[in-house]
Structure 1
């Protein structure tokens, strides 16, 4: 498997530092792709073998995130390591993301954005429609109804229930997209494919004036075939090659995310 050089001085050692660098890179990649929204939205990663997760300090832009700026919290939202700021975290990050990490120990990383096309599809009753190859690559997408800004801790139970035991892609209706992965690379590539599928859908729907009867929907057998063939392209790990390709871009632009 292709490896990424993340060697540099750090107060963190081993697995935690590697997770910090990859997650910081994911923030920088999202900024590069213009999926960020000032200081809002969150990408998380669990530190393997612990009940601690990493996420962004509330006030830092995605393009500013570094390995050492990430905040470490426990599953109750308590700050274990504040990183290099005193800004703390956005409460909505705790409500949304720890709900998933607590309910799904198989998930290492979660990623939530308000990218405009993703929000647009989240506002459609039909949700994601299998009209493009990108949309057909997405397996077992689930939906969570909007309940206002996510500050009520009781919403965690409903988020976890709506994600379910196997889904890695959750559309937060009227809100945005949330993807998960057993690795940071997988969570990111799920986000990439889902975001691109939403972008295509928004453009197609504008072309047909929202008339679903004008859409060419491939048969279910074809949709299943797309997922089967795509799986053979990812034997090294879903999203690894794609994440590494984008990692090299942000590394070339600015290596400070490793600090």
Structure 2
């Protein structure tokens, strides 16, 4: 009764869908390895190509159990299109569907409850300009006030308004969220956001006076990062190494 149902969809879906499944399953495994998971809760969703079909984790499956084939295909309303024996947590897709509805540039939405993002999101000043990692998030960061469990459809419009055109969101008293034009970008953006939050908390715990980075440097950071990455995003540059790491951790995710 405790064994997962196994299936293999590699020859049953398009090449685009299978590659999305591979990248997303790897992302779940990497998140688990980083210690960012939350038992069977929180979600990472990914759009399949240019369609209005998405992949998300099956409800009840731990992040380190996710495979390319046990991800569930759904529509924008969370209706299951292909899940086999698997179901999803409908409430868990509320936040993701709100974003996918208005941000068609978002191929991936990553929402996690890490202690560091919850802690900083619960501070009135939010993320402070006190580390280089914060520089990658601050120019594209917004906040959404806590309204309880995200099960109220009426909250979607407020969440969409608060996110606007930003790629990073701190949900007050709740956690962090990033999105990107690829799974790689969403993952790397969360890495930077979470690391910035961790560093801020460590600095605050030291009790020492903090040195804020000047605003003109914050404003210029995207231009500097573009030069460093030769026109590519950090996600595009780092993802091949992250995929190799996922295979080293457990190649079973690719089934």
Which TM-score applies when normalising by structure 1? 0.91
Q: CA deviation at 1:10?
A: 3.4
Cα pair distance change 1:237/1:133, threshold 3 Å:
closer
| Contact 2:10-2:69 within 8 A present in 1 as well | no
How many residues are paired up?
245
Structure 1 residues 214-247: Cα deviation after superposition (integer angstroms, max 9, x where no partner):
2101211122333321122332344122222122
Separation in structure 1 between the aligned mates of residue 227 and residue 88 of structure 2, nearest angstrom: 39
Match of 1:252 among 242, 248, 255: 248
Corresponding residue of 2:30: 29
Structure 2: stretches of 5+ with no match in the other structure: 1-8
Secondary structure at the residue paired with 2:109?
strand
Secondary structure at the residue paired with 2:116?
helix
Corresponding residue of 1:62: 63
Corresponding residue of 1:163: 163
Asked if 1:143 corresponds to 2:143, the answer is yes
| Contact 1:41-1:114 within 8 A present in 2 as well | yes
Corresponding residue of 1:232: 227
Query: Which sits farther off after the overlay, 99-108 or 237-246?
Result: 237-246
Q: CA deviation at 1:13?
A: 2.2
Structure 1: stretches of 5+ with no match in the other structure: 1-7
Secondary structure at the residue paired with 2:179?
strand
Which TM-score applies when normalising by structure 2? 0.92
| Contact 1:133-1:226 within 8 A present in 2 as well | no
Q: CA deviation at 1:133?
A: 0.3
Secondary structure at the residue paired with 1:137?
helix
Corresponding residue of 2:17: 16
Corresponding residue of 1:243: 239
Corresponding residue of 2:133: 134
Separation in structure 1 between the aligned mates of residue 103 and residue 243 of structure 2, nearest angstrom: 27
Separation in structure 2 between the aligned mates of residue 237 and residue 130 of structure 1, nearest angstrom: 21
Secondary structure at the residue paired with 2:124?
coil
Alignment of 1:172-187 (within 5 A): 172-187=171-186
Separation in structure 2 between the aligned mates of residue 178 and residue 70 of structure 1, nearest angstrom: 20
Q: CA deviation at 1:140?
A: 1.6
Separation in structure 1 between the aligned mates of residue 163 and residue 22 of structure 2, nearest angstrom: 27
